[in-house]
Amino acid sequence: MNRDSILKDRELPKLTNEEISRYSRHILLPDVGVKGQKRLKSARVLIIGTGGLGAPLGLYLSAGGVGTIGLVDFDFVEESNLQRQVIHLNRDIGRPKVASAEERIKGINPAVKVITHNIRLTRENAKNIIEDYDVVADGTDNFQTRYMVNDACVLLGKPLVYGSIFQFEGQASVFYAKEGPCYRCLYPNPPPPGLVPSCGESGVVGVLPGIVGCIQANEVIKLITGSGESLIGRILLLDALRMKFRELKLDKEPACPVCGANPSIHELEDLDYEQFCGFKKNDAEPIENISPKELKARLDAGEPMQIIDIREPHEQTLAAFPQAKTIPLGQIARRRDEFDPKIDLVLVCKIGQRSVFAIQALREAGYPGRLLNLQDGVNGWIREVDPSLPAY
């Protein structure tokens, strides 16, 4: 059952003979045809994030003839990205991701107009960027940005094509408040900080973002051409380890604060998304960091130190931290009696973020001793102290 295109009232451009030849396999499809291909040429799609999900989105939407593609990312290509972010090449290491992504997109289809936004998306600039596009595809990897992008799309009346990945599991849906639920209807509140680790902390099978990103690209094309049945009101769940798909029905939440009957969210600027997602604490005592070099000097001097590694076991296998005791983040507060409050306690993770949550948990549990966060975590230790350990 076909639906109306989101561009149904737009005056459409002509297709050149070269374009008809290039997109002939699309045009031969009754559900796309010449009119659908014209809509793709007319469409403006914003891809937020040019990583694992953004890579297949950029490649397939450009190959399919989307006329204008916007790219939002402020990150640089790293070697560890290349396992799954197939829009970037080995030669791109160190380049801005939007630059290498633009080059690959133009290499596939020179006719596509690419607009790069090499900036961090914030509550101050999100609406100004998003309002110029017809569809937004979410390739982000953090909850703060997901909620912010969702809210901006609801306020601007834009469809949001959602995808997320974790290890071997993926999700995809379309959030469009005009016709169905939004992201907040599905997830009214974010999980506690540190509960859901990032791909950099938990790992992800390289092909998974390719599968989910292609599903997202398919949903974008369907919204633009008006073909098929979209994922509005449904969420698709993928278990790639067992190769099983499940589908859940989603309903609009009447009390949703952004798309419900009586919304309380009217401007992004009124919300602090980091605080909403628990990344800002009203903590009078700031987090005290210790640099890798300072920790090494104190250990070499024979000072008594308590070092607790809160990383997952598979991470510790990759790069064991010297003189550290292993305690998972979820157990840290209830095992506080194992520590000596008279001796400085150093918390260690991969990048120095989960260890902040561990310090906050110990403070809330009433631990009285001095707590130190290893600045930049194991990555910092490898970079500044022991480069013989493998970075991961």
Question: Which of the following is catalytic: 199, 256, 259, 277?
Answer: 199
Structure tokens given for 307? 């070092």
- The active-site residue, picked from 153, 182, 185, 349, is 349
- Amino acid (1-letter code) at residue 69: I
Residue 349 annotated to the active site: yes
How many C-alpha atoms does 150 have within 13 Å on its Cβ side?
Answer: 30
**CB-CB contact of 206 with 84 (8 Å):** yes
Does the annotation count 199 as an active-site position? yes
Catalytic residues: 199, 349
